């Protein structure tokens, strides 16, 4: 069965110290799923604003947008990106990855993309470690130890893309460290019913 991409409307919010673009899903046959997805997106936007001190610090100015990564096969994966500036040398950007099963509205954690009892943490950690070496990524706290089951991620182009917040892994100047992993390279541990599994043919 062919599933069509989800309809997305871009909502624009402009007020003092705040300029935001965020996605609103519409036209889903399952209205409950649609409501869940839109709630999760808005909750994430609000959480990032709180994390960046928008409501606490009257000097904080924020601009935000989103990037669509996957919109096919009943999978919606996107990132919400907010830049906050409160003075000083530079501001700070936060990014949140959100991945949904469009048919149910369920939001997935990294751990839920893999088969139960699979050693996915070890598999992913090994691949990230290899990429760090190959790309000669400078680490703030070497050596790299392990991927977390709550690791930030999104799905794009038949790949799982793990990413780290600024300062978490490497210096600010290097930006967000991204680690793309082909779904075919981890096929044995992927849950075929998960959004990642749906990327397999």
Cα separation, 19 vs 25, whole angstroms: 20
With beta carbons less than 8 A apart as the criterion, state whether 109 and 74 touch.
no
Q: Which CATH class is domain 110-196?
A: alpha beta
The closest of 90, 87, 68, 86 to 5, measured between CA atoms, is 68
Distance from C-alpha of 110 to C-alpha of 106, rounded to nearest angstrom: 13
Quick one: what percent of the chain has pLDDT higher than 90?
85
pLDDT reading at 125 higher than 90: yes
- Tell me how far apart the alpha carbons of residues 92 and 101 are, in angstroms, rounded to a whole number: 30
**pLDDT score for 122:** 96
pLDDT at 1 > cutoff 70: no
Residue 88's pLDDT is 73
- Checking if the pLDDT of 43 tops 70, the result is yes
In the sheet with 159-163, reading across from the earlier edge strand, the strands are: 153-156, 159-163, 178-182
| pLDDT of amino acid 25 | 96
pLDDT for res 4: 74
What DSSP letter does each residue of the chain carry, written as one string?
---PPPEEEEEEEEETTEEEEEEEEE--S-HHHHHHHHHHHHHHHHHHHHHTTTTT-TT-EEEEEEEEEEEETTEEEEEEEEEEE-SSS--EEEEEEEEEETTTTEEPPGGGGB-TT--HHHHHHHHHHHHHHHTT---SSSSP----TT--EEEETTEEEEE--TTTSS-GGG---EEEEEGGGGGGGB-TTSTTGGG--
The 10s digit of each residue's pLDDT in 148-180 is: 999 999 999 899 999 999 888 988 888 899 999
Q: Specify the length of the chain in residues.
A: 201
Domain positions in the chain:
1-107, 110-196
Mean pLDDT of the chain: 94
Per-residue pLDDT tens digits for 48-98: 999 999 999 999 999 999 999 999 999 999 999 999 998 877 788 999 999
**pTM, full prediction:** 0.94
Q: Tell me which of 3.20.20.70, 3.30.565.40, 3.90.76.10, 3.40.50.1820 is the CATH number of domain 1-107.
A: 3.30.565.40
């Amino acid at each position: 069965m062919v599933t069509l991409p989800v309809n997305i409307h871009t909502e624009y919010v402009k007020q003092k110290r705040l300029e935001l673009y965020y996605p609103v899903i519409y036209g889903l046959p399952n209205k409950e799923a649609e409501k869940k997805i839109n709630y999760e997106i808005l909750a994430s936007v609000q959480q990032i604003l709180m994390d960046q001190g928008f409501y606490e610090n009257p000097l904080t100015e924020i601009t935000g947008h989103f990037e669509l990564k996957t919109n096919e096969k009943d999978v919606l994966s996107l990132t919400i990106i907010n830049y906050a500036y409160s003075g000083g040398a530079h501001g700070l950007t936060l990014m949140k990855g959100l991945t949904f099963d469009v048919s149910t509205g369920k939001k997935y954690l990294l751990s839920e993309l893999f088969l139960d009892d699979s050693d996915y943490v070890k598999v992913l950690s090994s691949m990230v470690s290899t990429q760090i070496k190959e790309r000669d990524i400078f680490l703030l706290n070497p050596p790299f130890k392990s991927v977390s089951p709550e690791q930030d991620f999104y799905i794009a182009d038949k790949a799982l893309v793990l990413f780290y917040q600024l300062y978490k892994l490497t210096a600010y100047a290097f930006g967000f460290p991204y680690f793309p992993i082909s779904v075919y390279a981890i096929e044995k541990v992927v849950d075929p019913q998960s959004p990642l599994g749906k990327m397999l043919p």
